A and B are shown apart, each in its own frame.
Chain A
Amino acid sequence: MSICMEKHKQMVYETRLEELLKDKEKVIAIIKNSPYLNRKHEEAAEHLSKIKPPFPWDRDKPGETI
């Protein structure tokens, strides 16, 4: 019974997904405005901000001394 329900849910998902994929702007807006992805982004920024410079990629820039 639950396998049937899961399969039905997946079929509904895939049908809706097909509809969604027709609208590329909507797809991009969902990704860009995702609270989950933006939260992950803030976490990464916070994590990196705790690490003190110099950063290795700065050291490699020509004409800069650290």
Chain B
Amino acid sequence: MDKDCYKFVVGQDDFTYIFISEGVKGKIAKGVLISPLPAASVYPFSSVYNLGFGDFVNFDRKWIIDDSVRSGNGDMPKVIATVARIAMDFLTKNPDSVLSFEGYMDEKSALHGRNHRNVLYQRAINSNWAELSEEFRFWGVQEGKFEEYSVGTHYDQILVGRL
């Protein structure tokens, strides 16, 4: 899992991470935010966190975070592997938590009925399954239902916790 990842820096709060992607366009900073899901009336998501990430974009000398899908730096598999590594880092520090990953549906994904970023997350998980499944437990959401993660099955949403 460490084989093809970028080095990352974690914020003092342990919920923010940053790393620098280096690809065909040069260096692009990526920000990762892990946030607890709010207590909902339906269910208190007390230990469930969501992981989101995007690019640092500079507009008129002001920095914002935007969707990484548009960066086109040609290194998305390495970026995804880094994000997966960050998730593992968070879960090692917060072993009672469950982390949710959700990708996005761009036009190409919608056309093929697949969430492109999830496909990449799953590729990173599947290719490191032997190592990851010894420490972490994965679940997938398919058609609104949870199931134990199974390599080779496509999921809309992926959740992971420590064993």
- Whether a CB of chain A sits under 8 angstroms from the CB of B134 is no
> Can you report 18 A-B residue pairs in the complex whose CB atoms are below 8 A from each other?
A16-B58, A21-B29, A31-B31, A31-B32, A31-B33, A32-B33, A34-B33, A34-B64, A37-B35, A40-B54, A41-B37, A44-B50, A48-B37, A50-B144, A51-B141, A52-B42, A57-B98, A57-B161
User: Among B45, B52, B54, which residue has the most Cβ atoms of chain A within 10 A?
Assistant: B52
Does the CB pair B63–A51 fall under 8 Å?
A: no
- Mostly helix, strand, loop or mixed at chain B's interface? strand
A44 closest partner in B (C-beta): B50
A43 to B40, CA, bound (A): 13
Known: A28-B12, A51-B144. 14 other contacts (CB 8 A): A14-B27, A28-B16, A30-B63, A30-B64, A31-B16, A31-B18, A31-B32, A35-B64, A37-B33, A44-B157, A49-B43, A51-B145, A52-B42, A57-B161
A37 to B102, CA, bound (A): 12
A6 closest partner in B (C-beta): B25
Size range of the chain A interface in the assembly = 35 or more
Instruction: Specify which chain B residues have a CB less than 8 angstroms from the CB of A63 in the assembled complex.
Output: none
A27 to B29, CA, bound (A): 10
Contact with B65, one of A13, A34, A53, A55 (Cβ below 8 angstroms): A34
Does the CB pair B42–A34 fall under 8 Å?
A: no
Residues of A that sit less than 8 Å from B by CB: 6, 10, 12-14, 16-17, 20-21, 24, 26-28, 30-32, 34-38, 40-41, 43-45, 47-53, 55-57, 60
Instruction: Specify which chain B residues have a CB less than 8 angstroms from the CB of A56 in the assembled complex.
Output: 139, 146, 148
Does the CB pair B33–A17 fall under 8 Å?
A: no
Does the CB pair A41–B61 fall under 8 Å?
A: no
A27 closest partner in B (C-beta): B18
